Amino acid sequence: MTITVLLADDQHLVRAGFRSLLKRDRGIVVAGEASTGDEAVRTARALRPDIVLMDIRMPGLDGIAATRQIMADPDLRDCRVIILTTFETDEYVFAALEAGASGFLTKEVDPEGLRHAVRVVAAGEALLSPSVTRRVVKQFAHRPAPAPGGGTRLAALTAREREVVQLVATGLSNEDIARELVISPLTAKTHITRAIARLGVRDRVQLVILAYEEGLVGERTHPNTDHA
């Protein structure tokens, strides 16, 4: 299955570099390019790509606002956004995740890492660089406790799904969860997929955010993986 990608970056040389790196994977096709946030939104609506590689700082509409518009468009419900930037500040990380991005990578990512990110996110997973994952988990762990009465959205989960989501939110991979609960990685993945569907979130990143917002995660953290 071919994965279609839209490149959104205001620098022509950067887009050319990404195009060259991605075309080495026969399963990935660069369907279009955009140099501004507004153009990225228009082009995404016209092409309906599987993945948008989105720069943050662009003229006019920035990458975060463009991501928010794309994620809000019902015609683009199957489109996923990977934020690719030279910046790795908390402000950008959380703004990107709250806008609905499924991945956040810095431009220092190696070529295979970039192609891997596209494949992973296109498959419905979510991906963050290891350093970003550690900071996301740490930041959420120090947020104030949710207000009394929270956690109502999690009532849709079974006891096992709730347990798995809690482990996902602490930064564990499917393999880590499998070892912790003495189940297979495939079973762990199945529980996560069902939880995402029951809760109506887009992917693993949004599942983590919801888990923390609903007060599911306590003090325990395992910020040592590259998936959140």
The arithmetic mean of pLDDT across residues 28-46, rounded, is 96
- Which of 115, 3, 13 lies closest to 55 in space, CA to CA? 13
Is pLDDT at 41 greater than 90 in this prediction?
Answer: yes
Give pLDDT tens digits for 82-117. 998 776 666 777 778 778 888 888 788 888 988 988
Phi, psi of 104 (to 5 degrees): -145, 110
What is the model's pTM?
0.74
Q: What is the largest CA-CA distance in the chain?
A: 52
Q: Which residues of 73-103 are buried (b: 16+ CB within 10 A; e: fewer)?
A: eeebeebbbbbbbeebeeebbbbbbebbbbb
- Of the pLDDT bands very low, low, confident and very high (cuts 50, 70, 90), residue 53 is very high
Top-confidence residue, 105 or 42: 42
Lowest mean pLDDT among 55-64, 107-116, 127-136: 127-136
Report the candidate in 107, 123, 171, 97 with the shortest Cα–Cα distance to residue 3. Answer: 123
Q: Which residue has the higher pLDDT, 141 or 113?
A: 113
How far is Cα 51 from Cα 44, in angstroms, rounded to an integer? 9
Considering the chain, what percentage of its residues have pLDDT values greater than 90? Answer: 47
* The pLDDT of residue 28 is above 90: yes
